[in-house]
Structure 1
């Protein structure tokens, strides 16, 4: 029987070579029933507990829900259980024969809320996430429209400023006035067009969310328990894609607030003969006036298999992707929040940027004035990466804007810095003369990590919110510290694995 057809024939009657229109559908039996067969179905002792739905309601279910089988293909029994360990549905016989030792099995009925009528906690969360998506999209659309109005108002204000200034100068500046007004108009049109494109993308995502919401509503009203259970898993995939698309629009700066402002030439008040430009118009799109709220947790679902910690002996390393850098002496690498890969050539004042697929994007100088700098990288946020200078002057850390590749800030250390990491709003630096030093973002608080070696030049460090991991080629060790300097858990490894980064080989070993 086709699960997508609108007019269903009674399956029981068809087995008797009769053609009768079906009035109801039994998800457990996976059969359409005419009025007479439905009555027999309800009177049967074995089948009277089955919950049937009308054909009209059945046809309103999403097609993938209707295609979910209710019975075990191996034992032809009703699927009533779910095994988290194997991520599989089970019937009673499956549970006995193949899942005796599985501790993470649940009864599907227990997954549903009691007395709520085909409504599960996971489906509730699906609706919450969908509503979050819709609210965030609507907020973003409203904010983009506000920003367009704001830019147009700013254009008007700037025009008035220009005209007011124009009263104080002679006709020699007419063509300069025309130039700057044209620039304002071009920037306004360009940025408004970009915002309109973002609004269109957001409206497309909103339409997708509306479609999923309708399907969820149909599932809540008409689907069987198992269909809800498996449908939830399918909904999660669709919603995750919508959520990623919307979040990417947020993360890539498309919702940054765009403003225009005009700065006049300082010589405008001086000698007119020295004025070459009427002024300038700048765009600032670094600030967001909208924020996203995610109340639902699309990742917190029962379908995620329980993760089991692996010992290092069971971990196998395989090549995921090869990036052809065509450079020597690569001393630093990092992955940005957007997935772009950043590489440094040791002391070459050069940073290379590659796309997640390995495609070369750009190569830029870290600092136009500096000489042989550059050793290690640390990602600060979605827009900023920090670069250590290594054993060369000046003894700085450079904060680089990943979009423009301009240096946004320079931190003076007073010491050479090789390995570099960033956590808890602090820089963790492998210095030449003072071991591992920790600098806060404002550079007002500097301290040496207790118990760290004095000689940590040409070594590397990594960190998270609670731990600092230091690799030392002098004694082939990796030491884990907390931020107070205490060694935590383990502190020595013996050589088993060797990885090569550029011309530098680093040895990693099995934990003792």
Structure 2
């Protein structure tokens, strides 16, 4: 057999005997008889002997202990140049002040920081590769979802046209297929994790079975290869591109003109991947930065309880919602004359709550009542669920979002007029100067106010002093806010079709995406979080779909 190892002492005597054990100190194989002699000698009594099967595993970790230039065994180590030397190499390092014997240098190599750093480097690179591959897969799935939605749109549009459009439809599908096929080809990446996994396994093998010398030298050789691989990974991740896909239907199609030459156009949107290679050591250092959310609970997941369809008597335009203490839900549909619909905790429609004016935004006051702003009248209604009596509070400007906190109503005024604070009798308690030109929603806690703007979420004190703000490319059209705790909020983004959480991090926020188009979000707008029930209600604005999620949270450990 090609992998049979002979006993070295026997071979010296010209006897052929198979080795049963391998000495990692002497780097020689021993048969059963020679092993007994080796163990009996004082100078080799404490040497580490391993089985031949273990040796063959360790043999795969290629580490040279011989100088390539002089073909002599390494005996010394220059710590100044971080290089092993044979006796003939010494002349080149006469001026070096830090020459050690190799035996001295390799002491405790398995516990060295160099080996630990190499393991951390491989683990960090593996984490980056796995994360990159997951994002590539997710982007590919989303790309195909968008493609399927466009195909569906093409078909639905086509069904309203006569047979004269058959040829144009076929041309459009061909165009779509050609462009998406070309774009999908770029998703095929030759980046994989197996090289790093292999290096990691080699290190584990060295730590368990190799000599200190092999560990010492192997650490440096593997480090060179891993560094080169990481450089390659960074290049691949920097050059990676993701694609979006859109379609524009030619407006002449709907007019059924015979002279139409286009069914529409397909546009593949190319954007650079925002995923960056993260150095685990740098991340660890950054984690020591003061973060108010550290030590508090944070959202770690959403579990779907059920989805339901709103009562379809008219088109939907859902702007606001809330959950009552008994689990019932109130959802505002502002389309037409508008209505406030009540559903039970399973999503079954119960009734429309009487409302004299078109409702806009609502906020819960207690278990029996809520307040509502209106589109067509300058007043706020306080409505009791079990009484026909409605309290009207006049206001000086048109209103948008509203939030109740500790006996006070915080109301967004249109036209950049700021935020007015009222008691339940309508008395003005405070006016907060704030440009509300692009602000639609407002949420409050005992100490903070949260509002939306043009692709921005802002948090400030009850006196109007700014605390933190957040803006990012993945947050387009933030239209709904729900407070998880003072340091973290849910945000529904109608134009980017996703739901994020944003946590305070100094004077800015850090986001995490929990739901997207693949979860059924199509222009989500109205959201509400019930802290007692740990439930999040999410409503799309136009398609009449709502969903209830259980919020899974956990403790963020305090670092340092």
More strand as a share of residues: 2
- Higher Rg: 2
Greater length-normalized contact order (CA 8 Å, ≥ 6 residues apart): 2
TM-score by length of 2: 0.43
TM norm structure 1: 0.47
